[in-house]
Amino acid sequence: QEFTTERCWTSRSFQILRAQNNYYELLGVSTESNAQQIREAYRKLQKKHHPDIVGQKGHEYTLLLNEAYEVLMRNDLKRKYDESIKQMGIAFGENNLPLGNSTWKGPIRSQALFVDENACIGCRECVHHASNTFIMDEARGCARVKVQDGDMDKNIEVHSYTTQLLCN
Amino acid sequence: MATKHKGRAIGIDLGTTYSCVAAWEEQNGRAEIIVNDQGNRTTPSFVAFTDQRLIGDAAKNQAASNPSNTIFDAKRLIGRKYKDPAIECDLKLWPFKVVSGADDKPMIKVNYKGKEKCLAAEEISSMILSKMKEIAEAYLDFSLKNAVITVPAYFNDSQRKATKDAGVIAGLNVMRIINEPTAAALAYGLQKRANCSEKRNVFIFDLGGGTFDVSLVTIEDGVFEVKATAGDTHLGGEDFDNRMVRHFVQEFKRKNRVDISGDPRALRRLRNGCEKAKRILSHANDTTIEIDALFQGIDFRFSITRARFEDLNRDLFEKCMEISQNCLDDAKMEKREVHDVVLVGGSSRIPKVQSLLEKFFQRYNLCKSINPDEAVAYGAAIQAAMLSESYSIVPNMVLVDVTPLSLGIATHGDLMGVVIPRNTAIPVKMDGVFQTIEDHQPTASFPVYEGERTKAGENNLLGLFHLSGLPRVPRGHPMNVIFELDYDGILKVCAVDETTGNKNGITITNEKGRLSSAEIKRMIEEAAFFKEEDKKFKKMVKAKNALDDYIYRMEKAMKGFDVSSKLSPSEKETIMSKFRKGKRMLESEEHNEAAVFENYLKRLQKMCQPIVINKVRDYSDEDTD
């Protein structure tokens, strides 16, 4: 008994805040997309990345895909999510870019970059080396991704889309 | 699963009462149900022990004469505890003996060749699986390793893993365990693919021999999304039979003032009669069960009407509808949004079940166009082909299944703290925050459970781990617990104390009650032993037959012509006495080695050589090789 715990809370909302990569971006749809379009995008991506087709390496991707799909298909969760990105967008308002909505250069790939805000120390190194990809968010004191695939890969140390690119 | 598996693969529907095997036929673009050595497309899930081991039809056929050593319903035992209330009632009805083994694991006691043996449910299932494997190998003409095995969607983790173990013991590489209704949905999707380009919500109603499952699947453009699943792992044809058996035991008692409930042989015969009657009642209005000399020489003769049968099982049928409603609720779907209701499993043929379903969905066009007995194996074969690299033409389909049961942590007061709710699409990673309840609590324990009960103790315990080295702080210290579930159903749970960075976790693989790798190894060896014994038995039967045949023909030959020119009367008498000795050997149970009969045959052949050469050469040529 002494060692038991008490539940604090559990929900998808925690994931929403933590998920640095935008769900809309992951699915390759716009924020105005309707359920039909989201479902279509989801199906197309499932067929491409399902572990039955590509093996274990599809696991991480489909994990996020399922998460994004559930949130965007459920009205209550979607509203919450939209609100949370809007709020964060306001916090980032300086650059006039909605949060997380980095744009793609070239075809959409399965990997996307993002900056781990907690780990970024604001050294601007990344902005200097890959200025087409990163942008400095002065309000937050950390870097952000502006354009996916904006620079040559060698300028960006990408390990995988889940490995957070540390700015140091 | 890392990458695709090498070699061809089969799909096995391991049922409570019947099993079925199928393989993908590339050239035809469909799966093929494989017939067994008796020419049947399904094989009874029966294993019997006498002086030999019998599996399938052979085992079921002799069930009445050997009830205490004929094992069935192993699927009802697999992955369960002896004390499980779900099997309490079964234990009383089964004619074979089940005892509690280590860790409260149920063990089946059988008498094999005069010796008592204790077998786990996994071993019985593995014997059925190896039989299915043999059936497939005989048909496909090459040896197989890879298989997809189906389980009821509502099976818990222990039951799934135990089924996987059974596959390993049978010498199979179990590529994936998939859910039965999902497999049926794949079969439906492939057979009706013309309609599957546009979105279809399909309700799979799978009422089988021992389990009941429903799933709501959305099929669109080759993507099968399971929206929700529900079921009961202990509801099926066997239960309907049980009700009938109980009813007739009482009727018999009332009429004849004798109680047959203690006689396993009588019960088995009655049960077989009831199963037959149940099938007849699916198309006839009434039927009569007649069994000669059922008990103490009294004949059994009772008739039953369809209405009576329906009345006996009314609550069970209604339970099916309740579960169907729950499934729709979970999927957040209206009845009218369902495009098709697909019937799967033998018991879905019961007219009352169909009429209740029609009423429930307010429609009169239930989908009966896929074979309810074979759809699951058919779907498993499709999934097997998708996971194997040996097929170049496989259907362009992907399956997104859900977790049937909620997963969580037991918290203070034995409350279930759900982290992954049921019917969440797999793979999934979710987290929850849990906090300490004592000031300066040094360690927190995380018992991982699955199930829907609010009281965690009533759910299925998957594993336990601790997170120690917590900072000395007042109660309410938060810890983040992350659950990650992958396609193969492997659950990883990890707790992190974010203030200190302390981390601990487990991968749920080997919970209590599951077989250890040493036990599995022992069982594999035992399976090899059984196989060897089966082979020996076959060889002995063959040798016995050869000897019997030879004596019969030689005796006939000796009578048929004048042997005096060849043999003196004393020589003839010696030979005849040898024949008599041979016959005695064949009749006695003393010898069970093939070599004994083979040697004796050789000796006889040598003795009879002189007469054989002249007269019956054409007979003996085939034998003297």
pLDDT: is B127 or A156 the higher one? B127
CB within 8 Å of B508: residues ≥ 6 apart: B157, B448, B462, B463, B490, B491, B492, B493
Is the Cβ of A80 closer than 8 Å to some Cβ of chain B?
no
Does the structure show a pLDDT above 60 at A95? no
Look at residue B620 in the predicted model and tell me its pLDDT.
47
Look at residue A2 in the predicted model and tell me its pLDDT.
47
Q: pLDDT category, A18, cuts 50, 70, 90?
A: very low
> Which residue of B219, B480, B481, B487 is the best one to mutate when testing the A interface, meaning the one whose CB has the most A CBs within 10 A?
B487
Nearest CA to B358 among A160, B350, B437, B426?
B350
CB–CB contact A8 B445 (8 Å): no
Look at residue A158 in the predicted model and tell me its pLDDT.
42
Dihedral sign from CA coordinates of B560, B563, B569, B575:
negative
Query: How many other C-beta atoms lie within 10 A of the C-beta of residue A138?
Result: 10
> Which residue of A4, A13, A39, A42 is the best one to mutate when testing the B interface, meaning the one whose CB has the most B CBs within 10 A?
A4
Look at residue B221 in the predicted model and tell me its pLDDT.
86
The winner for highest mean pLDDT among A60-74, A96-110, A151-165 is A60-74
Residue numbers in B near A66 (CB within 8 A): 400, 424-428
Residue B245: phi and psi, rounded to 5, are -60, -45
CB–CB contact A9 B438 (8 Å): no
Look at residue B353 in the predicted model and tell me its pLDDT.
96
CB within 8 Å of A1: residues ≥ 6 apart: B412
ipTM score: 0.80
Q: Do B108 and B121 form a contact (C-beta atoms < 8 A)?
A: yes
Residues of chain B with pLDDT under 70: 1-3, 193-196, 510-513, 560-566, 610-625
Look at residue A97 in the predicted model and tell me its pLDDT.
42
Q: How far is the C-alpha of B20 from the C-alpha of B373, rounded, in Å?
A: 8
Task: Please count the residue pairs, one from chain A and one from chain B, whose beta carbons lie less than 8 angstroms apart.
Answer: 110
pTM tops 0.80, yes or no: yes
Q: How far is the C-alpha of B330 from the C-alpha of B229, rounded, in Å?
A: 8
Does the structure show a pLDDT above 50 at A99? no
Look at residue B468 in the predicted model and tell me its pLDDT.
87
Q: Name the minimum distance, in Å, from the CA of B73 to any CA of chain A.
A: 32
Residue numbers in B near A5 (CB within 8 A): 409, 411-412, 417, 434-437, 444-446, 479
Residues belonging to chain A: 168
Nearest residue in chain A measured CA to CA from B431? A10
Look at residue A14 in the predicted model and tell me its pLDDT.
40
Residue type, A114: F
Look at residue B560 in the predicted model and tell me its pLDDT.
67
Look at residue B617 in the predicted model and tell me its pLDDT.
47
DSSP string, B245-291: HHHHHHHHHHHHS---TT-HHHHHHHHHHHHHHHHHTTTSSEEEEEE
Look at residue A111 in the predicted model and tell me its pLDDT.
57
Is the Cβ of A67 closer than 8 Å to some Cβ of chain B?
yes
Residue numbers in A near B444 (CB within 8 A): 3-5
Nearest CA to B544 among B577, B590, B493?
B590
Look at residue B37 in the predicted model and tell me its pLDDT.
93
Q: How far is the C-alpha of B391 from the C-alpha of B496, rounded, in Å?
A: 44
Does the structure show a pLDDT above 70 at A100? no
Nearest CA to B151 among B206, B107, B106?
B206
Q: How far is the C-alpha of B93 from the C-alpha of B270, rounded, in Å?
A: 12
Is the Cβ of A117 closer than 8 Å to some Cβ of chain B?
no
Residue A73: phi and psi, rounded to 5, are -90, -15
Look at residue B222 in the predicted model and tell me its pLDDT.
87
Is the Cβ of A55 closer than 8 Å to some Cβ of chain B?
yes
Residue type, B97: K
Burial (CB count within 10 angstroms: exposed 0-12, middle 13-18, buried 19+), residue B325: middle
